[in-house]
Structure 1
Amino acid sequence: MNKEHTGAGGTELSAYFDHTLLKPESTFTDIERLCGEAKQYGFATVCVNPYWVPEAARLLAGTGVGITTVIGFPLGATSTFAKTAEARDAIAAGATEIDMVLNVGALKSGRFEEVQKDIRGVVEACRGRAIVKVILETGLLTDAEKVKACELCKAAEADFVKTSTGFGPGGATVEDISLMRRTVGPEMGVKASGGVRDLAAVRSMIAAGATRIGASSSVAIVSGSTGEGY
């Protein structure tokens, strides 16, 4: 956990959070507020849609708070070319972390080589410039498929595996985080996202092996209250 940029309002848990706002109706005022909170509490990153990356990068310049954006979101069914182009464009605009959605349909079709190639393409586009997290959308997968997805992410040299987009069925569970951690081992990050709404849930996810938390209610969580969650 990186504590270097824990803000005046933050706690030691703050640096676990990707402070998230991915609602399509989000306005610049919303993004401005999100970035202000991230700076105040010392969150690891803000997570915003690609359109807002330049604004977030400008608002957070020099603060130590990173910029996460989403690629192939929320379905993961775009082409590898489109995903890599999105990733390069986002990095050029100021993104420091890329959360790409795995091609769920290809995985469930047994097209494992294509899934790995898809992930690898984004990893290569980001190499040396941005961290890559792969969103598995665990609510759509069997346990065997979750394990296979994690193995493919590891083979493709992604930095993290992540549970959910927040737009699919279900969300992060302790059981899934534990399974993902066992599969990828200690070398990779594991991000819990989707329905993480309170401090007890965060602590359970971390105990199960999560090294990053994606939430829209990050401020409420670190302040000790509850929120809607993402």
Structure 2
Amino acid sequence: MTLTRAELARYVDHTLLKPESTAADVAALAVEAGELGVFSICVSPLMLPVEVPEGVAVATVCGFPSGKHYSQIKAAEAALSIDQGADEVDMVIDVAAAIEGRFGDIEKDVAAVRAVIPDDKILKVIIESAALSDDGIVGACKASAAAGAHFVKTSTGFHSTGGATEHAVRLMRETVGDALGVKASGGIRTADAALAMIAAGASRLGLSGTRAVLDGLDGVVSADAGDGGY
């Protein structure tokens, strides 16, 4: 199918998670989100609540960026973020649990957060795919799905091993099928990279340089893709 600039924008969580981000930075992000027509903005929990243009959702993070938090703390953080207006929560797993094959622990961790997410809200699970073997990616995705997650997500963008790859996105999509969304994030800085992630199976993109990515499109482009709104 063909993708216009506007259609590609609807795949995007327009992201600002730098620790030094100010309220003014977040307000400017929200304004830009409306101008670009993205699906959502993604900001740190402490920046909530935030006013956004009509049609733009609000996403936040949980247990970020290490995932080395008690499940009860992640759940409390997620619940507070929902109360403060978040429509979506992107939680981080304990990556070591995936490396060590403790997928039951991952399922319990995700389930604890999922229990506080209302049915009309979305839970995404960040597995830090660049730090995992293929078996780790598959196991983490299966555990997330079993716990009721709505999306699996490649990366925080803060890990030293890197961000999204086409291989990881493809493997994640093969693992979850059509039952869950797949969000590619971390290191996606060009239109070509964004389209490659969509072609590999991504249904959402986490971008901090959204305008540059969209500006990189040359008119109408093609990709084998579905609806970025999930």
Pairwise same-fold verdict (TM > 0.5) = yes
**Rounded Cα–Cα distance in structure 2 between residues aligned with 1:148 and 1:39:** 37
* 1:27, distance to aligned residue in structure 2 (A): 1.1
Instruction: Select 2:114's aligned residue among 115, 123, 130.
Output: 123
Q: Secondary structure at the match of 1:12?
A: helix
Instruction: Select 1:166's aligned residue among 157, 165, 176.
Output: 157
Contact map agreement 1:53 1:67 (CA 8 A) in 2: no
Instruction: Select 2:126's aligned residue among 132, 135, 139.
Output: 135
* 1:189, distance to aligned residue in structure 2 (A): 0.3
Contact map agreement 2:62 2:78 (CA 8 A) in 1: yes
* 1:107, distance to aligned residue in structure 2 (A): 2.5
Larger RCO: Structure 1 or Structure 2 (Cα < 8 Å, ≥ 6 residues apart)?
2
- Higher mean Cα deviation, 104-113 or 162-171? 104-113
**Rounded Cα–Cα distance in structure 2 between residues aligned with 1:132 and 1:51:** 18
**1:47 maps onto 2:42 in alignment:** yes
**1:154 maps onto 2:145 in alignment:** yes
Q: Secondary structure at the match of 1:147?
A: helix
Instruction: Select 1:25's aligned residue among 12, 20, 29.
Output: 20
Q: How many residues align?
A: 213
- Corresponding residue number in structure 2 for 1:217: 209
**1:98 maps onto 2:89 in alignment:** yes
> What CA deviation, in whole Å up to 9, does each residue of 1:76-128 have, x standing for no partner?
11011000000000000000000000111222233222210110111111031
- Corresponding residue number in structure 2 for 1:191: 183
Gaps (5+ residues) in structure 1? Answer: 1-5, 226-230
Q: List 4+ stretches of structure 1 deviating above 3 A.
A: none
Percent identity reads 47
- Corresponding residue number in structure 2 for 1:65: 56
Contact map agreement 2:125 2:152 (CA 8 A) in 1: yes
> What CA deviation, in whole Å up to 9, does each residue of 1:124-173 have, x standing for no partner?
11031420000000121111100100110111110000000000021111
Cα RMSD of the aligned pairs, angstroms, is 1.4
Contact map agreement 1:197 1:221 (CA 8 A) in 2: yes
**1:15 maps onto 2:15 in alignment:** no
- Give the counterpart letter for 1:170 in structure 2: G
Contact map agreement 2:98 2:132 (CA 8 A) in 1: no
- Corresponding residue number in structure 2 for 1:228: none
After TM superposition, the score normalised by the length of structure 1 is 0.89
- Higher mean Cα deviation, 123-132 or 78-87? 123-132
Gaps (5+ residues) in structure 2? Answer: 218-230
- Give the counterpart letter for 2:187 in structure 1: G
